[in-house]
Every structure is written in structure tokens, then in C-alpha cells.
């Protein structure tokens, strides 16, 4: 399957989407509480960080075909199966878990900084 086919592992997208949704909720409540968000905490900043995390994750998956194949293989499984299989895979591969957490870290940092 070619990279342009649009198959994106749900577990990876879920992890990124969870951060995005958390960020959107954070910015939604911040917009009500503050007229001006703190520097680096605008919707544009969130979009930029999300884009960078998404790009880095894509690069990582393309350069680690075994990881890419694992996440691609989750397609068609229920959310519970995906969650359990992903947790088991990451438990068995702690370096991959560390790598993926590192890729997501900019979103975590943004959330922490902009609360």
C-alpha cells in the first residue's frame, strides 16, 4: 500500500487527536477566561505544534517499518482491541514507547505552558 493511500493507524491518530482535543478544550476555556492568551498559546500555536507532531510521527513510522506495520495492522480492530494490543506492544517495546512519547512531548509542553 502506498503512503498516499490514506491509511493512518488509529492508535497513533487517537493519541494525537486526544492531545488536539485536550488542546482545543484548553484554548476554548482559556478564550473565555482571558481576552489575550499567553504568548505561544493561540489557536495558531496549537495548529503549528500539532502539525509538527504529526509530521514527526509520520517520519518516525516511515523510518521504522516494523512499527508502521504494527499500527497499520490495528485497522479493523475494535477500539478496545486496539488499545489492548497497543499497550501490550508498547510494554514489550519500551524504546518505541519512549520514542513515541518524545514525539508527542511538544503537545504536552504546550498544554502545560498554556493552562
Q: Encode pLDDT of 48-75 as tens digits.
A: 999 999 999 999 999 999 999 999 999 9
Assigned C-alpha cell, 83: 488499545
Distance CA 115, CA 26 (A): 7
Q: How confident is the model at residue 4 (pLDDT cuts 50, 70, 90)?
A: very low
Give the chain's length: 115
pTM of the model: 0.67
Q: How confident is the model at residue 2 (pLDDT cuts 50, 70, 90)?
A: very low
Give the chain's count of helices (H) and strands (E).
5, 0
Q: Whose grid coordinates read 489557536?
A: 43
What dotted CATH number matches 9-113? Answer: 1.20.20.20
Q: Whose grid coordinates read 497497543?
A: 86
Instruction: Map out the domains of the chain as residue ranges.
Output: 9-113
Amino acid at each position: 500500500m502506498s503512503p498516499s493511500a490514506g491509511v493512518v493507524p488509529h492508535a497513533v491518530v487517537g493519541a494525537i487527536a486526544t492531545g488536539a482535543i485536550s488542546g482545543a478544550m484548553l484554548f476554548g476555556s482559556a478564550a473565555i477566561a482571558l481576552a489575550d492568551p499567553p504568548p505561544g498559546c493561540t489557536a495558531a500555536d496549537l495548529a503549528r505544534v500539532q502539525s509538527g507532531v504529526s509530521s514527526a510521527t509520520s517520519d518516525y513510522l516511515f523510518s521504522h517499518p516494523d512499527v508502521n506495520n504494527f499500527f497499520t495492522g490495528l485497522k479493523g480492530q475494535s477500539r478496545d482491541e486496539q488499545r489492548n494490543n497497543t499497550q501490550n506492544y508498547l510494554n514489550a517495546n519500551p524504546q518505541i514507547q519512549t520514542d513515541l512519547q518524545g514525539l508527542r512531548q511538544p503537545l504536552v509542553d504546550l498544554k502545560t505552558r498554556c493552562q
